[in-house]
Structure 1
Amino acid sequence: MFNLGTAAHAQDTTKKANAVAKPNPYKRPAVAAQTPVVTPSAATTPQPQKPVDKSLHGQYTYLLTKIYNYQQPLVGALVKNYNDTLKATRKQLKDAQETVTAQAKTIDTLKKSSNNKDQSLAASEAKVNEVSLLGIPINKGTYNLIMWGLVIGFGAIAAIVIARSGAHSREAKYRIKLYNELEEEYKNYKAKANEKEKKLARELQTERNKLDELTGKG
């Protein structure tokens, strides 16, 4: 950025240089007075007066007092272009900040929506994985363990009952076999007893006949 104070000093110096009167050709030239030689260390350079107001408007106002009138529109146009550019840049910066703020709000909204969806999904999964057993909510994994435990338990009980039933069946068959054997022996014994009884009855009848014969003869 150029220094308006330095430019104003240059314009002021130009004015003074142009304001020097032209020499008169009819006037006798004056004898130049001898002036002491000034060393560079003793020479002093005039310092331009700096504006008190350091703002852009203050420097612009100060510059208008140091330039020609025909230069003022050019400087005014330059300052106007600078102000327009500055305003446009500030507007772009403001728009960019508003865009960033809107995007940040959108991101926050999306994050909240994502969190709500995650919570809803977790609740849905928990509801899907939950089973009511006797009015008590139980996790599906626990429910499966309980059901498989009951199935295994009932299977073990059924196996024990079947094993016991098999043992009882074998015992019953054994008892039936013994009964049949005893019945067969009893039948054989009864048949033999009948035969023996008949034999004894015949022998008894024979003895009676013999006794009757002996008694009749006597």
Structure 2
Amino acid sequence: MKGLRILIIITALMAAHLNYAQDDSNEELLSLDRGPITSQFDYVYKKSGNYRSDGKRYEVVRVISLDKLRQNVLDTLEVYSKKEGELKATIAGHETTISSLNKKLEETTGNLVSVTEEKDSMSFLGIQVSKASYNTMLWTAIAALLGTLLFFVYKFRKSNSLTQEAKSNLSELEVEYEDHRRRALEREQRISRQLQDEINKYKKTK
């Protein structure tokens, strides 16, 4: 009988130790010094005290934790703002490149039309040349212009694709940024209201 009691006590102690170790492990994953903002909010909630009064549940948050969380949120928003600025600068650069390529494309097209209109002329740079030599030089120039045109068209399409991708990424980032900022502000306001309520209640009880 005594051995059975000892066995039960040892089993209970081991179970309590495992639960305590698991709680410690979960707490180590939450911190105000690392991890996403959501996990930092979870950390504040976990570390906050709570009590009930008049049938309502209140949370008591340490001011230093609230200040740290607020600074982390502001730092995160600053990072998102910086990324947004970088994407806008990239888009501006692509738009400048596209504008330059469009200008060169127009010049190349104008040169091609000009060469085509003069293909029946037998004068080349003021010098009379044979028809065979003239045709050879003409088609060589046309081939070179077409190659240049195709090259610029390729560059234009590539730059346009990169610009569209950058705009899409910027749009997604702005949506994510606004959503994150809204949720962060809502949480901060809720915690601030709860903290103010506790302060007001404390003042009334004094």
- TM-score band, normalised by the shorter chain? 0.3 to 0.5
Give 1 or 2: higher helix fraction: 2
TM-score (norm 2): 0.40
Q: Which has the larger radius of gyration?
A: 1
Structure having greater relative contact order (Cα 8 Å, sep ≥ 6): 2
